[in-house]
């Protein structure tokens, strides 16, 4: 899940939780909103953790003396 998708789920969940007053038989819209917000937050945390992770390989070091010719 991308960061944008996570933010979308958080916003959609907040709208369902706090702004929608309609009722549907057998479905609690506010609970669905909370579930979407939780999924969005988890996705955001995972997305940011993966984004901040640096990939280092043994051959990827930079020589401060410059390229060897």
Chain segment 3-19, per-residue pLDDT in tens: 999 999 999 999 999 99
pLDDT averaged over the chain? Answer: 86
Report residue 53: phi and psi, to 5°. -75, 130
- Residue 29 and residue 16: Cα distance in Å, rounded? 6
- Where along the chain do its domains lie? 3-17+27-53
pLDDT of residue 65: 74
Per the rule left: phi > 0, alpha: psi between -120 and 50, beta: everything else, 61 is beta
How is residue 24 annotated by DSSP? B
């Amino acid at each position: 899940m991308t960061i944008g998708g996570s933010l979308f789920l958080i916003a959609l969940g907040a709208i369902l939780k706090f702004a929608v007053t309609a009722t549907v038989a057998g479905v609690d819209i506010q609970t669905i909103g909370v579930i979407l917000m939780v999924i969005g937050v988890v996705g955001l945390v995972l997305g940011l953790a993966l984004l901040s992770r640096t990939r280092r390989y043994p051959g990827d070091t930079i020589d401060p003396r410059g390229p060897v010719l």
